[in-house]
Homo-oligomer: A and B are copies of this chain.
């Protein structure tokens, strides 16, 4: 099939592109290279059935033009502002990059006659649920972050477009994703801080926030199984492991792997920042029922990520 991947130079996007090409598909990638890394696409660019279009999600004509020409079987919309923590400092960014950006992608897809579209949402759309592990059918959530609000808006757009225009939608509610090319988030931040000063580290919150992580190749396997097997008009899947860890657990695994013993300075409180979910743990039995299972545990995913970051110091320096 011919896939159109937004955010193709990003962490998850570039891994997905490599996998799709490896599986024999052709890929058009779309990225504005604002946070994406061109060298994540080094392997893809050697492939004749890969095409990179540099453009911005806010530029609807650019998206339309990129989707024209050869028929697209599936759009995978991964491009987003993934900076959850700093939402309140720049509230318009989530609206533009996530909500309006997603509108432009689904609208360009509609105009190009694309019938299937997949979207990376987040477990943050559940806000602070009272049900754990949280299923896709949890009660109507109250949003607690601008990021979550922008993603729930994107979900609504995909579903409404599917209903209104005869498209098929795939919505994935991710936990935090880890692995090769990971370049944003809490394991990354810890590695950077420990590289600067291995003797002590500031930890947002009390360290007892419970989080769930998924290895990027497991995430990609889940996406590919879902688009192959799910048949509803709107298909919503939680993507995570059947476990969670405390921030303190992940700090333990990271410091052990790095061979450091920092003093930990906790900022205190049950939340790392406004809108931080103190507990994310998703019920993934729906995607498991399609035959998917993650291959790596949270601990294995974190260790592999630490190794990747250690081998790619340039990434730590490129993101300040």
Interface of A toward B, CB cutoff 8 Å? 87-88, 91-92, 95, 99-100, 103, 107, 110, 126-127, 136-146, 148-150, 152-153, 155-157, 159-161, 163-165, 234, 236, 274-275
Contact = CB atoms under 8 A, between A and B. Distances in A.
Contact of A153 (B87, B149, B164): B149
B145 A160 contact: yes
A165 B88 contact: yes
B152 A156 contact: yes
Contacts of A95: 99-100, 103, 157
Given A138-B139, A144-B163, A160-B275, 6 more contacts: A87-B164, A88-B164, A88-B165, A92-B107, A95-B103, A146-B157
Q: Which 6 A-B residue pairings sit nearest by Cβ, starting from the closest? A: A149-B156, A153-B153, A149-B160, A143-B156, A143-B159, A88-B164
Residue of A91, A140, A145, A153 contacting most chain B CB atoms (<10 Å): A140
Contacts of A138: 139-140
A159 B139 contact: no
Contacts of A140: 126, 136-141
B99 A164 contact: no
A278 to B, nearest CB: 13
A154 to B, nearest CB: 9
Contacts of A107: 91-92
Nearest to A160: B149
B274 A163 contact: yes
Contacts of A139: 137-140
Nearest to A139: B137
12 contacts: A88-B164, A88-B165, A91-B103, A91-B161, A95-B103, A137-B139, A139-B139, A140-B140, A142-B234, A146-B160, A146-B161, A149-B153
A157 B149 contact: yes
Contacts of A153: 99, 149, 152-153, 156-157
A219 B129 CA distance: 30
Contact of A164 (B126, B127, B145, B155): B145
Nearest to A171: B142
A99 B275 CA distance: 21
Nearest to A110: B91
Contacts of A137: 139-140
Nearest to A130: B137
A191 B215 CA distance: 60
A95 B95 CA distance: 11
Given A152-B153, A153-B156, A163 B145 contact: yes
Contacts of A88: 164-165
A119 to B, nearest CB: 13
Contacts of A126: 140
A63 to B, nearest CB: 14
A157 B148 CA distance: 9
Contacts of A146: 157, 160-161, 164
